[in-house]
């Protein structure tokens, strides 16, 4: 913890004066490597708030921190039972949904952020998802967005972490994010918002690169750049595995 304070204070010293409240922050790591043994990762976000006036003369601030993965288009389908068989019926395409999204706050989000500010900055999980242009026969498109949120919450891809951002002495803050093993490769965006009286009074943004490395990177590139070779190799591997298993069982039976 002392090391965290020293790093945050060093960042605060280097910051140039700009606004009444300015946030300076950093991450415990800005690169995550996905390997065959990758089972998730922990990201520590820490920083400090710089005030132009003594802290005793200003109203305390709240802090909201978000971590967002690459945006995706997602088709959400509804299953219904028809003649005893479950089949897909209606479908809605969500134009933009983060592959991973977590929100960490110093308190209940509804108590520290106004709805208009949420609409402007797209901070809460529902606001981070953009769904438009539902088919005319679908009258409850919001239900499909809610279903997507529930599915990704169950997969630990969407997380609301209220009260998990901790502020020390009104100046230093920190929080932790747990990244699951099923991450999508790409650039992850960390945003920090300072709020007072439910209004955003300061922001900060930084990025994390998530990349496959080693054998995973080679297989990924081969599948996308040389799909014919990748397909043939997969067939040969499947044939070899089947032949090997058959030979093994013949051997143990003899």
Alpha carbon separation from 203 to 48, 71, 221, 232 (Å, rounded):
12, 21, 37, 50
pLDDT bracket for residue 109 (50, 70, 90): very high
- Residue entry with tokens 């190799």: 233
Q: For the chain, what is the mean pLDDT?
A: 81
Task: Summarize the confidence of residues 220-225 as an average pLDDT.
Answer: 63
Distance CA 203, CA 17 (A): 14
Distance CA 41, CA 12 (A): 27
Distance CA 164, CA 111 (A): 15
The answer to whether the beta carbons of residues 12 and 191 sit under 8 Å apart is no
Q: Determine the 3-state secondary structure of 9 from DSSP.
A: helix
The pLDDT value recorded for residue 223 is: 67
Task: Summarize the confidence of residues 72-84 as an average pLDDT.
Answer: 74
Domain boundaries, the chain: 2-71+98-213, 215-254
The pLDDT value recorded for residue 31 is: 87
Task: Tell me the per-residue pLDDT of 130-155, one tens digit each, with 9 for 90 and over.
Answer: 876 555 555 677 788 888 999 999 99
DSSP code string of 160-211: EETT-SEEETTTEEEEEEEEPSSPPSEEEEEEEEEEETTEEEEEEEEEEEEE
pLDDT bracket for residue 107 (50, 70, 90): very high
The pLDDT value recorded for residue 14 is: 47
The pLDDT value recorded for residue 254 is: 64
CATH no. for 2-71+98-213: 2.60.40.3880
The pLDDT value recorded for residue 15 is: 45
Task: Summarize the confidence of residues 152-172 as an average pLDDT.
Answer: 93
- 181-193 core/surface letters (b: 16 or more CB in 10 A; e: else): eebebbebbbbbb
The answer to whether the beta carbons of residues 7 and 46 sit under 8 Å apart is yes
245 vs 18, higher pLDDT? 245
pLDDT bracket for residue 18 (50, 70, 90): very low
43 vs 55, higher pLDDT? 43
The pLDDT value recorded for residue 169 is: 85
The pLDDT value recorded for residue 48 is: 92
The pLDDT value recorded for residue 63 is: 96
Structure tokens at 193: 């918002």
Alpha carbon separation from 168 to 56, 58, 160, 176, 201 (Å, rounded):
14, 16, 21, 15, 19
The pLDDT value recorded for residue 175 is: 96
The pLDDT value recorded for residue 6 is: 55
């Amino acid at each position: 913890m002392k090391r965290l304070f020293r790093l945050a204070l060093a960042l605060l010293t280097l910051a140039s004066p700009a606004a009444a409240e300015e946030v300076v922050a950093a991450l415990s790591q800005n690169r995550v490597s996905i390997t065959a043994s990758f089972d998730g990762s922990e990201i520590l976000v820490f920083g400090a708030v710089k005030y132009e006036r003594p802290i005793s003369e200003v109203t305390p601030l709240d802090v909201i921190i978000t971590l967002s993965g690459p945006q995706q288009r997602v088709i959400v389908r509804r299953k219904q039972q028809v003649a005893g068989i479950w089949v897909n019926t209606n479908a809605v395409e969500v134009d933009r949904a983060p592959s991973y999204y977590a929100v960490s706050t110093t308190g209940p989000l509804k108590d520290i952020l106004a709805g208009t500010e949420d609409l402007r900055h797209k901070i809460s999980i529902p606001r981070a998802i953009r769904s438009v242009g539902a088919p005319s026969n679908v009258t409850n498109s919001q239900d499909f967005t809610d279903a997507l949120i529930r599915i990704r919450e169950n997969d630990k891809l969407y997380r609301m972490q209220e009260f998990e951002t901790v502020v020390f002495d009104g100046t230093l803050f920190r929080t932790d994010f747990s990244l699951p093993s099923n991450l999508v490769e790409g650039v992850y965006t960390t945003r920090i918002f300072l709020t007072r009286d439910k209004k955003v009074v300061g922001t900060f943004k930084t990025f994390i690169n998530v990349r496959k490395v080693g054998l995973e990177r080679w297989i990924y590139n081969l599948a996308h750049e040389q799909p014919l070779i990748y397909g043939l190799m997969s067939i040969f591997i499947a044939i070899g595995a089947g032949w090997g298993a058959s030979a093994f069982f013949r051997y143990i039976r003899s």
